[in-house]
Amino acid sequence: MKKLQDYLKKKLIKRQKPNFKQIKQQLEGAEHDLKIFNTVIKEDPGWASTIAYQSMLRAGRALMFAHGFLPIDGQQHKTVVEITGKLLNPAFETIIKQFDRLRKNRNAFLYDSVDLANKTEAEIAVKMARELLSEITKQIAKLNPQGNIFNAQRDNNGHRLQKST
């Protein structure tokens, strides 16, 4: 599909008022997933890749929510990937392709018990997940009428700055 209007007409998404508490929860969940990735990669690269995908999915959902959209169909994951690609700058096309590949791999991993990831692929996945989360966090900050939705200060890449004591 080429336009967001097509997704609305086909009832794959619906309009909703942006709820920045909900958006913040998605972004914090995505950030948490990336922290967990570092623990899991040592033992299970397949599961680590699924965690990287989950982070991307949460970030994509947050972006959709910030733009006033909610996925409502039976293929929500695919819809989130596609809409995220439409809302982001075309420079992120490679990351969106990886996001979609991870979606397919996650399905194979969970539903068919096929592990398609090795440690190198998992590390590439988490790198792209971090880039996606960073860009989405920056875009959402611009959309939020109250500025930064996080209590913590962030650097130019959207990462939380540690408090100095």
pLDDT digit string, tens, across residues 62-108: 999 999 999 997 789 999 999 999 999 888 999 999 998 888 887 77
Residue 9 in domain: no
pLDDT of residue 150: 59
pTM: 0.84
pLDDT digit string, tens, across residues 72-83: 977 899 999 999
Domain with residue 63: its CATH number is: 1.20.120.330
Residue 6 in domain: no
Residue 162 in domain: no
Q: 44 is in which domain, residue-wise?
A: 16-143
Distance CA 63, CA 84 (A): 7
Domain count, the chain: 1
Residue 79 in domain: yes
